[in-house]
Structure 1
Amino acid sequence: MPRARPIAFVASDTPEARDALARLTERYGQTPVEAAEVIVALGGDGFMLETLHATMAIDAPVYGMNRGTVGFLMNDYRETGLTARLARAEEAVTNPLRMAATRANGEVVEALAINEVSLLRAGPQAARLRISVDDKVRMEELVCDGALLATPAGSTAYNYSAHGPILPIGSGVLALTAMSAFRPRRWRGAILPRAARVRFDVLHPEKRPMMAEADGNSVRDVVAVEIESDASIAHRLLFDPGHGLEERLLREQFT
């Protein structure tokens, strides 16, 4: 029999997740998050991101069970056999992106993103961006609806919807993807080393306003955004054997 690990159950506000929380805590008990050896998140992918952000200072991996819709970052929900599943679970580690967004008034807003940092036009006209990588200008002007930088863990989210590449978790790269690029006409983006520092400068921000988002945290009226991977933070996710992120990434490419 595998040893029962102290578990902290957390849940989103949906009825399905709250019902699961009640059932699982009755069966397995409840441990405060700070004292847990593993955190079980009940909800969808959005709630998993919230949980990872909220618990990044706690040295405990997060095992998700899907009580949401897509559940790409989650395992299947079952009430029985959880102790054995946690004992067999495989760990995947991902580093977040750190965004520093400069607004038109000079204010700098920092935020972390586990999936992606995106820039989106905030007005009727197409955006115009200058892209620099490691302090070298790589594209003088990108005319588009927006652009994003995604981690491997986030490559199947907004990045994939924007026709960006799916990145294996251990690839050590990031995806820079354009949204509806007008000039260069068919430019879809680039694959960059994980250590790359990326900067977007907004051209003509007073006429073509833009906003930046880091996992849903929005900053309006940005004039420049700098992004880099933060290797000092490691998010640990647990998956059932054969159903980890590597397998899910492969499956997405053949469906």
Structure 2
Amino acid sequence: MAAIALFVHVDRPEALELARRLIDRLDADGHRIRLPPEPAAAVGRTDLACPVDGIGEKLDVAVSLGGDGSMLRAVTAVADEGVPVLGVNYGSLGYLTGTEPEDAPAAIEQFLAGDYHIEERIRLRCRLGNGTEVGALNEAIVEKVHSGRTVHLAVHIDGDYFTSYAADGLIVATPTGSTAYSLSAGGPIVAPTMGALILTPVAPHTLFDRSLVLLPSSQLVIHVQGDRPAAVAVDGRSLGELGEGGSLAVSVSDRPARLVTLGRRGFHQALKTTFGLTDR
């Protein structure tokens, strides 16, 4: 029997209802079910609650019921243990989620039968100057704190000084994250299984305003210059602020995300659907 974790968007009643049905079905089949504390309480199964920092231990699969944000939370919780994640789409974009809600029971059965593929996506290893280290599937962001004032950021690549930016911020994205904040800041769309780091400035006050697509072996360090602080966020999670001389180092993690694919909609189809592209 398998150990299965469900990550559920607690503000979506339909996702909670599906979670209840899946729990009943999987429990009846003898599988071991785990949920983070908040969704466990939301579905009335606190007996299945498991601390997030240990939920990936000896886990066979994590199932995300929500949008891309729910997928990010699931990947963050289990990627370091190499656990695959199956996404069920209750969001509006669905770049990461590969299965629609009506197909979820069959998709889980298909996974348990071994009829699936694993798609590996690179993750970021993000390290603050104080030693704090976290992983990210989409992006790391260093940005201004005060409205109307740019922040001054110096970038080093592979130990060499590259340039400084006066900007609203800098984004270091993975190919998976190229369709998130980096895209809205003018960055390129990159196939999600490529190996690359994407450095995109946000509203830079400079003639050089282009994104850089760098080798996955690149080591980036972003330093704060001057007395204007910068906020740091990783996959939407705040890591606090950096003062003058503070830094964020970003490289590719040796622990990739492992996403379950079942031969359904691919990345190109997701782009066509999201942007309303049609044959001309």
TM-score, normalised relative to structure 2: 0.77
Q: Which runs of 5+ in 1 are unaligned?
A: none
Query: Which one-letter code corresponds to 1:135 in the other structure?
Result: G
| Higher RCO (C-alpha 8 Å, min separation 6) | 1
Q: Does 1:100 align with 2:134?
A: no
| Kept after mapping to 1: 8 A contact 2:82/2:257 | no
Question: Match of 2:106?
Answer: 81
* Cα drift, residue 251 of structure 1: 6.5
Secondary structure at the residue paired with 2:176?
coil
Structure 2 matches for 1:205-220, cutoff 5 A?
206=227, 208-218=228-238, 219-220=240-241
| Kept after mapping to 2: 8 A contact 1:37/1:61 | yes
Aligned length: 243
| Kept after mapping to 2: 8 A contact 1:90/1:244 | no
Query: Which one-letter code corresponds to 1:12 in the other structure?
Result: H
Structure 2 matches for 1:104-253, cutoff 5 A?
107-123=130-146, 124-139=148-163, 141-184=164-207, 187-204=209-226, 206=227, 208-218=228-238, 219-222=240-243, 223-231=246-254, 233-245=255-267, 248=270
CA separation of 1:170/1:213 partners in 2, compared to 1, >3 Å: closer, same or farther? Answer: same
Q: Does 1:17 align with 2:15?
A: yes
| Kept after mapping to 1: 8 A contact 2:4/2:63 | yes
CA separation of 1:254/1:91 partners in 2, compared to 1, >3 Å: closer, same or farther? Answer: farther
CA separation of 1:252/1:66 partners in 2, compared to 1, >3 Å: closer, same or farther? Answer: closer
Give the Cα separation in 2 of the matches to 1:39 and 1:245: 21
| Kept after mapping to 2: 8 A contact 1:152/1:166 | yes
CA separation of 1:239/1:211 partners in 2, compared to 1, >3 Å: closer, same or farther? Answer: same
| Kept after mapping to 2: 8 A contact 1:145/1:180 | yes
- Bigger CA drift: 111-120 or 33-42? 33-42
* Cα drift, residue 250 of structure 1: 7.3
CA separation of 1:98/1:136 partners in 2, compared to 1, >3 Å: closer, same or farther? Answer: same
More strand by share: 1
TM-score, normalised relative to structure 1: 0.84
Give the Cα separation in 2 of the matches to 1:215 and 1:99: 11
Give the Cα separation in 2 of the matches to 1:173 and 1:59: 21
CA separation of 1:216/1:224 partners in 2, compared to 1, >3 Å: closer, same or farther? Answer: same
* Identity, % of aligned positions: 27
Query: Which one-letter code corresponds to 2:137 in the other structure?
Result: I
Q: Which runs of 5+ in 2 are unaligned?
A: 35-56
Structure 2 matches for 1:47-58, cutoff 5 A?
47-58=70-81
* Cα drift, residue 36 of structure 1: 4.2
Secondary structure at the residue paired with 2:19?
helix
Give the Cα separation in 1 of the matches to 2:272 and 2:5: 31
Give the Cα separation in 2 of the matches to 1:250 and 1:192: 26
| Kept after mapping to 1: 8 A contact 2:188/2:211 | no
* Cα drift, residue 60 of structure 1: 2.9
| Kept after mapping to 1: 8 A contact 2:230/2:242 | yes
| Kept after mapping to 2: 8 A contact 1:92/1:245 | no
Query: Which one-letter code corresponds to 2:234 in the other structure?
Result: A
Cα RMSD after superposing both structures: 2.4
* Cα drift, residue 247 of structure 1: 5.1
Secondary structure at the residue paired with 2:193?
helix
Q: Does 1:43 align with 2:40?
A: no
Give the Cα separation in 1 of the matches to 2:118 and 2:124: 20
Question: Match of 2:25?
Answer: 27
Query: Which one-letter code corresponds to 1:53 in the other structure?
Result: T
